Chains A and B, each alone.
Chain A
Amino acid sequence: MSASEFFNMGGYAFFVWSSYGISSIVLAWIFISPIFNKKNIIKELRIKYRQQERQRQDSADSEQA
């Protein structure tokens, strides 16, 4: 199959390439979103843990005083 034949798909180019295109977009989104999600979760948990640590320090200090 030549390159132009490949893209033309016997006249069905729109149908074939839309199918593969939409499928790729949906599957890529589902694949990539947990990667970003996990990075965000880790970032947010770091901040949260630091806040909790600080609160614990504060209450420990105020108990000593």
Chain B
Amino acid sequence: MKLPAIVHKFSSPKNFYTMSGKMVPWFAWGFGLTLIFGLYYGFFVAPTDYQQGESYRIMFVHVPAAWMSMFIYMVMAVSGAVGLIWRIKTADLMASASAPIGAAFTFIALVTGSLWGKPMWGTYWVWDARLTSELILLFLYLGFIALQASIEDPRNAARAGAILAIVGVVNIPIIHYSVEWWSTLHQGATVSKMDKPSIHIDMLIPLLVMAVSFKLYYATSVLMRGRAEILLREQNSRWVKEIVANEGAAIGGGK
């Protein structure tokens, strides 16, 4: 399947670098503002939960982090697939730049989930469906990162990673369903406060704002990572040499 020529024009490394350079400040500011608004609302406007007291406020970072961990894996798999099928370098770049960010969110979801679990269930770790699935997702991310790290040629590393990510994406629903099923067998009806069915509007708003904030964070971070990486990968091209000459002069004190 051939893509229209315009896609190739926008996905050239040089255009990527220029365009992302313009987009990053917008995303960064958007992230900052939504973060401040979300946290303020979450701590000062949202009421105290009558069952969990103040500990439920961990939700404002735990749930968006868990959502991001899933979202980023999808993006990784899709951009990996695009890079694999249509050989678009910037797609490969987005996939490998996303992996550490996704792993970080998964880690945060696990740690905050555990810290929320202690006041809620009395223990730091519980083999509940959500946490167990997050743990397996972390393994999937780490496997992806380890695989790419062990292949020298960036093109082959991108292709291998893309295959792994696609296989992972097919498996994630299967794994989630299996773990969900397994945990209902062994735990009975523990209603997980982590997905409250009916949530107070003043708790929902900061939750959604934080979710948007994290998405903007991801956009900023992935582009920044991609920009650094692409300079390295395209170092023999003229446009990189020009950029190094311009930006290098500013950094190195203009030699």
User: A15-B116, A23-B112 in contact; A45/B244 too (CB < 8 A)?
Assistant: yes
Interface residues of B in 208-223 (CB under 8 A from A): 217, 220-221
Query: Which of A15, A30, A45 is in CB contact (< 8 Å) with B100?
Result: A30
User: Does A26 have its Cβ within 8 Å of any Cβ on chain B?
Assistant: yes
Interface residues of A in 4-30 (CB under 8 A from B): 6, 9-12, 15-16, 18-20, 22-23, 26-27, 29-30
Residues of B within 8 A of A11 (CB): 53-54
Query: Which of A12, A34, A43 is in CB contact (< 8 Å) with B54?
Result: A12
Q: Is the CB of B55 within 8 A of A22?
A: no
User: Does B224 have its Cβ within 8 Å of any Cβ on chain A?
Assistant: yes
How far does the alpha carbon of A9 sit from the alpha carbon of B58 in the complex, in Å?
11
Q: Is the CB of A23 within 8 A of B65?
A: yes
Interface residues of B in 52-67 (CB under 8 A from A): 53-55, 57-58, 61-62, 65
How far does the alpha carbon of A12 sit from the alpha carbon of B119 in the complex, in Å?
8
User: A12-B54, A26-B104 in contact; A34/B227 too (CB < 8 A)?
Assistant: yes
Residues of A within 8 A of B243 (CB): 42
Most interface-central of A9, A29, A38 (chain B CB within 10 A)? A38
Query: Which of A12, A15, A41 is in CB contact (< 8 Å) with B228?
Result: A41
Q: How many residues of A contact B (CB 8 A)?
A: 30
Who on chain B is nearest to A37 by CB? B228
How far does the alpha carbon of A1 sit from the alpha carbon of B248 in the complex, in Å?
50
Shortest CB-to-CB span from B100 to chain A, Å, is 6
Q: Is the CB of A10 within 8 A of B54?
A: yes
How far does the alpha carbon of A31 sit from the alpha carbon of B214 in the complex, in Å?
12
How far does the alpha carbon of A33 sit from the alpha carbon of B155 in the complex, in Å?
23
Main SS at interface, chain B: helix
User: Does A54 have its Cβ within 8 Å of any Cβ on chain B?
Assistant: no
Q: Is the CB of A34 within 8 A of B48?
A: no
User: Does B111 have its Cβ within 8 Å of any Cβ on chain A?
Assistant: yes
How far does the alpha carbon of A10 sit from the alpha carbon of B115 in the complex, in Å?
15
How far does the alpha carbon of A6 sit from the alpha carbon of B40 in the complex, in Å?
12
User: Does A56 have its Cβ within 8 Å of any Cβ on chain B?
Assistant: no
User: A10-B54, A38-B227, A38-B231 in contact; A19/B116 too (CB < 8 A)?
Assistant: yes
Q: Could you name 15 residue pairs across A and B whose Cβ atoms are closer than 8 Å?
A: A9-B54, A9-B55, A11-B53, A19-B62, A20-B61, A22-B111, A22-B112, A23-B108, A26-B108, A30-B104, A31-B220, A34-B224, A43-B251, A46-B248, A48-B235
Contacts A1-B44, A19-B111 supplied; 15 other A-B pairs, CB < 8 Å: A9-B57, A15-B58, A15-B118, A15-B119, A23-B108, A27-B217, A30-B100, A31-B221, A31-B224, A34-B228, A37-B225, A38-B228, A45-B231, A45-B235, A46-B248
Q: Which of A's residues lie within 8 Å of B, judged by CB?
A: 1, 6, 9-12, 15-16, 18-20, 22-23, 26-27, 29-31, 34-35, 37-39, 41-43, 45-46, 48-49
